[in-house]
Amino acid sequence: MEADVKVPVIWSDEHLLVINKPAGLLTLPDGFDPSVPHIKGVLSPSWGPLWIVHRLDRDTSGVIILARSAGSHRQLNIQFQERQVSKVYHALVLGNPIWDSKIVDLPLRVNAGRQHRTVVDLREGKQSLTQFKVLERFGNNCLIEAAPQTGRRHQIRAHLYAEGLPIACDDLYGSGSENRLSEINTSSGDRIGTDQPSLTRSALHARSIELSHPITRKPLSFEAPYPQDFRVTLDKLRMVWS
């Protein structure tokens, strides 16, 4: 089953494996159903033992770094803990802010409520900071770059939701059917993808990552191309708003 999942490899050496995770693939095994495909289960048969260094949500696509030895895993963990790793995400959101760039500094509390969401909590939340920049505008929607400076669970999704800019197709932080790309209005009153939306999962992509090689200390930078659903949706929006 897992062998059928195709995972693009961006770069590798004897210490690291860098992949472009497809949306829908778990980073870690499912606690209730171990048969659900996950990164190590898919890749280990071809690449040998792998250590998970950081995670992406199931519906989030994009770049992930994997360690190929325990020593590399330890060194990479230190870099993440000491915030020496720079990550950039791209998100297609509902809404069009008045700002071109903004730093959101709102404390977040994870696992709140019955849905286990991450929420802004000024009293009990932990400091959380994300830098946002608008890359492209499409009427009532836009493409936003997000650079998290802290590593809270669902941080980007929660901060954008707090700004009134939920990520398209994000059911957990959106509002049901009106958060679907098939419901995105264009200036002409038509709708994008009325028959079948290009994106049916959260429109969040881990675009790039910068860090130091765990052994050589050489600076490394990797970028993950957009997957087809993300790319096609952007192309449709560009056609309408060009």
Residues 18 and 219: their CA atoms lie apart, in Å, by 14
Report the DSSP pairing between strands 61-67 and 204-212.
parallel
Find all residues with CB under 8 Å of 4, minimum gap 6, and list them: none
**DSSP tag of 230:** H
134/123 Cα distance (integer angstroms): 30
Report how far residue 1's alpha carbon sits from residue 109's, in angstroms, rounded to the nearest whole number. 36
Amino acid at 169: C
Contact 173, 159 (CB under 8 A): no
Active site residues per annotation? 57
Q: How far apart are CA 190 and CA 213, in angstroms?
A: 49
Task: At 167, list the tokens.
Answer: 């990520």
Question: In the structure encoding, which two tokens stand for residue 14, read together?
Answer: 């004897």
Q: How do 16-21 and 61-67 pair as beta strands?
A: antiparallel
User: Are the CB atoms for 66 and 48 separated by under 8 Å?
Assistant: no
Using CB atoms within 10 A of its CB, is residue 32 exposed (0-12), middle (13-18) or buried (19+)?
exposed
